[in-house]
Amino acid sequence: MIEITPVLDSRSNSPLYVQLANYIKQEILSGRIKPNEKLPSKRNLSRYLNLSLNTIQSAYEQLCAEGYVESKPRKGIFVSTFNEEIPSNQIFSQKCEPENEELKVNIKYDFNSGKVDLEHFPYSIWRKLTIQSLYQDKGELFYNGNPQGELLLREQIAKYLFASRGVRCSANQIIIGAGTQVLIGLLSLLIGKDHIYALENPGLHRTRTTLQDLGVHTISTPLDEDGININQLKNSAASVVYVTPSHQFPYGMIMPISRRMELLKWAEGKNGYIIEDDYDGEYRFKGKPIPSLQGLDTKGNVVYLGTFSKSLIPSIRISYMVLPSSLIKKYQESFTVYKQTVSRLHQDTLYRFMNDGHWQSHLNKMRTLYRKKHSTLMVSIQNYFGENAIVVGGNSGLHIVLEVKNSMKEDELISKALNVGVKVYPISIYYHCAKESLSPGVILGFGGLSETEIDIGIRLLKEVWEL
């Protein structure tokens, strides 16, 4: 009988059978116990080590399950033969990289366009409803739900979209997803690879990257003062176009009705699609929100994308798309294999939030709030910069583009600002090629700053930009 004399620690957190199995494993790995050798019988080893038969049994089963040993009926337990050599030092050799935490600069005034006002988020209501979701549907909400998203939430979204955005759809046309990038991925599968996609240039870089990473053929189409240049689009081979008509990103123009009608006619003629990303269409500072392309579409050529990231909270990750009937049919036939990516619990909480009317009050409150911040921003820019800066795209949304009339380039504007704790953002990354960006300017988001902070931030910029 081969000798097995482990040092076992009965006070260890690790059960004795695990310690024993590990010991034998090491003996095998190190070559001290050879392939094809017979292990002691359970009874013998139990007596020898003064351990219960159960412990030995469990250890042997473990070794057996891991393939280190094999049980041969009526013969005993034998060490397996391996086709490949097992490195004895395998266990501690793989190098692990240390965690790289981002260097934090001391930023006091962050004009990040992705930030929203959380001071006024209705925490107590959201908590109450979260708890309701957790209590009232014991179990059910913890299973996987409809891959398209919860019906109750989709119904609320359809109702809201009709009332506020002029989008006409049933809940059946809506697909919920964990962010626009996830939905764009699914959408590109539904639309198929035969289409060429025209993208606004400059435009949202995350969408461009996502589509390109997916292997979609994309082309860049420049803007004019009404949004995407329709003539360039018509002259291209594209049959799908991705646009941000409510508030072009980043330049902020609102696409007028005439351009919308032209786009729709183009899509109909091409038998293609318009992807309308209404990422912050809830916030307009003049008049009420203008009707969406989806609402004007009579032929089923428009896909409408929306999100709760700007209007509610970013980190909850709930976006949605409204598909025309041709695409929703395709989805339901072939793509429900993709599981829903948004937590069902959050979907339920959001449903309750909308159903109880909190969503509408929240939006109303935020509209007033952002209108004030927007107005402060405009006044501060006028006061401090005067004629030395031009605001572009300031009629809606949570950011503006600021064209600065000094000799500084974009990176200089940004780094000078950073020196006084103010973070402003580049436009160049939204261009297909960074060097295309013409007039020097930066993006200023104001959703996450208070009115006072906005004013101080702009004043600091005046100083470092020497305006």
Q: Pick the closer one to its own copies by CB: 3 or 85.
A: 85
Nearest approach in angstroms of CB 47 to its own copies is 22
172-191: which residues touch its own copies (CB under 8 A)?
172-173, 178-179, 181-182, 185, 189
Nearest approach in angstroms of CB 286 to its own copies is 5
Residues contacting 151, CB < 8 A, separation 6+: 171
Residue 91: count other Cβ atoms within 10 Å of its Cβ. 10
19-58: which residues touch its own copies (CB under 8 A)?
21, 58
CB 45 within 8 A of CB 4: yes
| Span interacting with its own copies, options 251-259, 273-281, 368-376, 380-388, rule CB under 8 A | 251-259
From the list 119, 148, 372, 397, the residue with the least C-alpha distance to 249 is 397
Alpha helix stretches (DSSP H) within 66-179? 123-136, 151-160
User: Which structure tokens are listed for 403?
Assistant: 């064209």
Q: Which of 337, 407, 435, 438 binds its own copies (CB under 8 A)?
A: 337
Q: Which of 195, 284, 374, 399 binds its own copies (CB under 8 A)?
A: 284
CB burial readout 295-323, b (16+ within 10 A) else e: bebeebbbbbbbbbbbbbeeebbbbbbbb
Compute CA distances 42 → 26, 36, 48, 59, whole Å: 19, 17, 10, 10
CA distance 46 to 43: 5
Q: Pick the closer one to its own copies by CB: 201 or 347.
A: 347
CB 59 within 8 A of CB 20: yes
| Span interacting with its own copies, options 3-11, 280-288, 432-440, 457-465, rule CB under 8 A | 280-288
395-414: which residues touch its own copies (CB under 8 A)?
395
Q: Which of 1, 2, 53, 65 binds its own copies (CB under 8 A)?
A: 65
Q: Which of 24, 169, 267, 460 binds its own copies (CB under 8 A)?
A: 169
Answer yes or no whether residue 97 interacts with its own copies by CB under 8 A.
Answer: yes
Residues contacting 358, CB < 8 A, separation 6+: 122, 125, 129
As to burial, measured by CB atoms within 10 angstroms (0-12 exposed, 13-18 middle, 19+ buried), residue 291 is middle
User: Which structure tokens are listed for 413?
Assistant: 């504007």
Q: Which of 91, 107, 237, 434 binds its own copies (CB under 8 A)?
A: 91
Q: Three-state SS string across 216-261, please?
A: CEEEEEEEECCEECHHHHHCCCCCEEEECCCCCCCCCCCCCHHHHH
Nearest approach in angstroms of CB 237 to its own copies is 20
Answer yes or no whether residue 66 interacts with its own copies by CB under 8 A.
Answer: yes
**What pairing do the DSSP bridges indicate for beta strands 196-201 and 76-79?**
unpaired
Answer yes or no whether residue 142 interacts with its own copies by CB under 8 A.
Answer: yes
Nearest approach in angstroms of CB 116 to its own copies is 8
110-139: which residues touch its own copies (CB under 8 A)?
114-115, 118-119, 121, 123, 126-127, 130-131, 134-135, 138-139
Q: Pick the closer one to its own copies by CB: 148 or 465.
A: 148
Q: Pick the closer one to its own copies by CB: 264 or 303.
A: 264
Count of positions on this chain that bind its own copies (CB under 8 A):
113
Answer yes or no whether residue 255 interacts with its own copies by CB under 8 A.
Answer: yes
313-332: which residues touch its own copies (CB under 8 A)?
313-317, 325, 328, 332
| Span interacting with its own copies, options 235-243, 262-270, 363-371, 409-417, rule CB under 8 A | 262-270
- The CA-to-CA distance between both ends of the chain, in Å, stands at 90
Q: Pick the closer one to its own copies by CB: 149 or 440.
A: 149
Answer yes or no whether residue 450 interacts with its own copies by CB under 8 A.
Answer: no
